[in-house]
Amino acid sequence: MNKTIELQDLGLKDYKETWDYQESLFQSIVDAKIKNRREESTTPTKNYFLLVEHPHVYTLGKSGDMSNLLINEEQLTEKGASFYKVNRGGDITYHGPGQIVGYPILDLDNFFTDIHKYLRLLEEMIILTLAEYGVEAERSPGETGVWLDVGTPFARKICAMGVRASRWVTMHGFALNVNADLGYFDNMIPCGIRGKAVTSLNVELGKKEVNEEEVKEKLLKHFTALFEAEFKLKTEAL
């Protein structure tokens, strides 16, 4: 079991370009597993964790409803946003500047073969990170992601999640609003859930801006503890 994860911080990168890159890493792990099985080999499979920030984009999961996007193609162009239908779970999600997006591409055979546990640990990573800022976050029953003030009229989502898994290999992941422009969420029904607001860490803290590099460090610290993993940083150019 290989619990070392190659960490890559891609900076600001186009959604489709990143999605294609995710797919290539995902497929390389799946192919390695198939080869191991065919050759009865125990060669360790690799794990990756991509951190990225995307230009404005809306993505719709495979079970999503197109009507949850409230603007048309012309309006998307006016707002400088793009739109993609993707192969993850969940409904519609927005990504944009000021949001930390994480794509763990893991062979869960290296950790545990339980997708429910995987999602709960990703949520726990976010909850523990926000707690370091004095923000009390929690899960909302039946709704993947991380929320504030669940069960009250002020419930609001701060982190969306949607994953894909095949042969116990994961892709896609989480999107944590840190310094996000919340106006872009008005153009959709977030995750297809009506009547629920969205928030960002800087709003909750009453700050103009939160240090995103510091948030990343805290996220990775909690991830390694929860998954009993270790990161190695990719240093060569992508």
SS3 39: helix
Is 161 among the annotated ligand-binding positions?
yes
Whether 92 has a binding-site annotation, put simply, is: yes
95 annotated as ligand-binding = yes
* Phi, psi for residue 187 in degrees, rounded to 5: -90, 10
Is 54 flagged in the annotation as binding? no
Beginning with the edge strand found earlier in the chain, give each strand of the sheet holding 57-60 in spatial order: 82-85, 57-60, 92-95
Q: Is 11 annotated as a binding residue?
A: no
Letter for the amino acid at 183?
G
Burial 185-206 (b: 16+ CB within 10 A, else e): bebbbbbbeeebebbbbbbbee
Determine if residue 103 is labeled as part of a ligand binding site: no
61 annotated as belonging to a binding site for a ligand: no
Angstrom distance (rounded) from CA 226 to CA 224: 6
Is 191 designated active site?
A: yes
Residue 174 annotated as lining a ligand binding site: yes
Residue 234, phi then psi, degrees to nearest 5:
-75, 125
One-letter amino acid for residue 66 of the chain: M
66 is in an annotated binding site: no
Closest CA to 54 of 82, 25, 23: 82
Per-residue tokens: 211: 């240090």
Q: Is 91 annotated as a binding residue?
A: yes
Total Cβ atoms within 10 A of residue 128: 17
Do 82 and 166 form a contact (C-beta atoms < 8 A)? no
170: nearest Cα among 109, 216, 229: 109
Has 96 been labeled as part of a binding site? no
Say which of 127, 191, 219, 229 is annotated catalytic.
191
Catalytic sites, residue numbers? 191
Output the known binding site for substrate: 88-95, 160-162, 173-175
Output the known binding site: 88-95, 160-162, 173-175
